Structure 1
């Protein structure tokens, strides 16, 4: 796309330049509605063209009024949007720096051309760069920066911005704020009366994970079932694939394993078909997690190791972290305690730079279980208590139930019966605040 000759070029000078480039005289461009003298004043800057004059001149030059006003080449919005999508696929393959440069270039050009919808899209993808780097505070700022232009964006893009902002809130330990943000956006979308299945599906998808972690399984299931009804009307493969991957977490949580496996297979197939390597690898990570839950440890080991390697290649530090936690737990269950500990300790520096309380608590619990398996009951107690405190503070009730059980068992093995009973009661309270819903 050609660049502007001069960002401060006066409108009259631009009209003269474009007229001469087309081989037109002032009379030929001005007539039949205006005369040569009038156009001469416009071109010299002595007369500011009205909207009607601008429309006439733009039509004669083969442009739209905004293309003439902002020196915007024909098809600029489409070309810039295509550049964003191409760069996003490169981001998915691990080309973070190159993608970031292209997103920044498009953001600047869209601002020059007064294309706020394209500018918003570019800002959203700049937030995605930070998300992939696992810099949650910067990602949150990036998505908030995109939200400043959300009024000019499509409902789908607005929904995706909310989706990511909610994920940042959840990773920072504020599940309630995450859910409230999405529910507000969903209510606003539905209140317009206009149907946008992609936007609705993106928002319903964003509800599932935080509700699961809060133990609100009935509400999570309601969101997943509503998404399932919207799914046939959705157009975007990436949004449909993200729904399938997220819904699978809910199905496995309530015991619908066959449905979970089918959704993960669909997600993997869709992401692969559009060249979203990072998200395809995340689907493998999710499948490894499912197989670990089902006790298929050998299959889980192979899938999680592959997922971790693919996520590392894609530059997804958040994905590497999650897949490594699951891989370490599989190795612990297989009795490979030294390898499990090495994997868990290896990602702690990454956690220290992140507000991801959920992942930090998972690692603490995992290290606590490894310590218990090695016979270090005091060390296990300290780690499990720290994990439980973090989970309780962040309303991670489902995880807190499991951690409390492990902590109670560890304390009981040490003969600390009263403290063990309190740990069990803590888990019971967390379970009472959760809702499991029927598994039918």
Structure 2
């Protein structure tokens, strides 16, 4: 996937020529000379160069000139009245609310209209926000290629903007790559952005909280538990400075995963409860479903299979209603594990077989591997060793492609034990060696150095 590149000066109303023409028109209408407009902060020569379109004024210069000409900064920068910009931003807020509470189709239609309108009006920041919204819709619908395309287009529009403004688009692209099974690239995108913010001194709590919350999942899937725990620790430290409650709720959901990995189920439950409380206040239905999903997993870990099934079915109902197909099938993997542990093999096997058509190496690879692993366990428990081996090997291929080293060692143990029980000792030893190669000390990873910490 190509990286965002810096663009040349934009043509049209927001380019140097368009801004210069507006300054010339407004100055002439107000019967000001170039010197009268410029002084005391600038020179007449500078105004002349600006009006001829040979220089792009800084934000400071634009704000100074806007005040002297009696117009708003936005109107001078874009050529559009403030009323239009305000209206577009209000409609973006409405579209986001539709995304949280309504149907994906309705939200996508609103974002599409806004993206076209913002392009027509020459409003790149608002157009980028609409593209991020479209990316979120595509992400939830499971159209990962489309999501990556939208997020990448938003990053390109904001190529000249400060890094904090690009973070939502960049985070969205990283999550899409994670769901597609490209864990390493997802980590690369997020860690680069974290390093970019921290080393440049761009201490934006909202942007950093968004990034640290997002990087927990790929860290956990890659077996880098120490890095995941550190990201959770930094996210918790940043939360009091964040101004967006949705970001804080997402942080609590991510932190809960690291707490579960450490066996701190009570703390994880409390973190999920806090996230659920915030999401209920904000009426963000998909994120509420994710909370039920994680609480179902937590209850299963505690052995309360009845409550686990209830939580997972609640999550699945909400996600299916929103047509969030990829997330729905991922919940079904967790639900199938609960059904298997309840001894309901037929129902679990049918559920897993049905969903494997929706998952694969380029779409939910980690959960596809989990589905094959569960089918292998069911086959073993039903005395079908050949079928079990087939599923274990399919799971191993998927997890190796995705780089999900956190699960490979356990899978190699299952496959090795199966081979040993069926008399293939040498083959079992080979599989055990493969698993030992992936069982690195907790927290180590083949990634580069950990990103710099923020100046807390």
TM-score w.r.t. the length of structure 1 is 0.83
> For residue 264 of structure 1, what is the aligned residue in structure 2?
272
1:330 to 326, 333, 338: 338
Pick closer, same or farther for the CA change 1:155–1:68 going to 2, 3 Å: closer
Give SS of 1:193's match.
coil
Pick closer, same or farther for the CA change 1:64–1:271 going to 2, 3 Å: same
Q: Could you tell which deviates more after superposition, 408-417 or 203-212?
A: 408-417
Q: Distance in 1 between matches of 2:164 and 2:319?
A: 26
Pick closer, same or farther for the CA change 1:31–1:125 going to 2, 3 Å: closer
> For residue 301 of structure 1, what is the aligned residue in structure 2?
309
Q: Distance in 2 between matches of 1:267 and 1:56?
A: 44
Pick closer, same or farther for the CA change 1:300–1:404 going to 2, 3 Å: same
2:260 to 252, 262, 276: 252
Superposition deviation, residue 225 in structure 1? 0.8
Structure 2: stretches of 5+ with no match in the other structure: 1-11, 23-27, 34-49, 446-456
Aligned pair count? 402
How big is the alpha-carbon RMSD for the aligned residues of Structure 1 and Structure 2?
A: 3.1
Contact 1:30/1:57, CA 8 A, preserved across alignment: no
Pick closer, same or farther for the CA change 1:94–1:30 going to 2, 3 Å: closer
* Correspondence 1:195 to 2:209: no
Contact 2:118/2:124, CA 8 A, preserved across alignment: yes
Please list, as runs of the form range in 1=range in 2, the aligned pairs for 1:352-371 lying within 5 A after superposition: 352=360, 354-371=362-379
Q: Distance in 1 between matches of 2:67 and 2:120?
A: 22
Contact 1:162/1:203, CA 8 A, preserved across alignment: no
Pick closer, same or farther for the CA change 1:94–1:431 going to 2, 3 Å: farther
Q: Distance in 2 between matches of 1:287 and 1:155?
A: 34
* Correspondence 1:127 to 2:135: yes
Which string of whole-angstrom CA distances, capped at 9 and with x for unpartnered residues, describes residues 356-380 of structure 1? 2112111111111111122111000
* Correspondence 1:281 to 2:289: yes
> For residue 37 of structure 1, what is the aligned residue in structure 2?
none
Give SS of 1:75's match.
helix
> For residue 114 of structure 1, what is the aligned residue in structure 2?
122
Contact 1:117/1:152, CA 8 A, preserved across alignment: no
Contact 1:117/1:154, CA 8 A, preserved across alignment: no
Superposition deviation, residue 227 in structure 1? 1.1
Superposition deviation, residue 66 in structure 1? 5.1
Contact 1:107/1:122, CA 8 A, preserved across alignment: yes
> For residue 244 of structure 2, what is the aligned residue in structure 1?
236
Contact 2:181/2:362, CA 8 A, preserved across alignment: no
Which string of whole-angstrom CA distances, capped at 9 and with x for unpartnered residues, describes residues 237-271 of structure 1? 11111111111111111212222111111111111
Superposition deviation, residue 169 in structure 1? 2.2
1:175 to 170, 176, 183: 183
Pick closer, same or farther for the CA change 1:59–1:163 going to 2, 3 Å: closer
> For residue 96 of structure 1, what is the aligned residue in structure 2?
104
Pick closer, same or farther for the CA change 1:249–1:130 going to 2, 3 Å: same
> For residue 396 of structure 1, what is the aligned residue in structure 2?
404
> For residue 450 of structure 2, what is the aligned residue in structure 1?
none
Q: Distance in 2 between matches of 1:66 and 1:236?
A: 24
Please list, as runs of the form range in 1=range in 2, the aligned pairs for 1:42-53 lying within 5 A after superposition: none
Superposition deviation, residue 143 in structure 1? 0.9
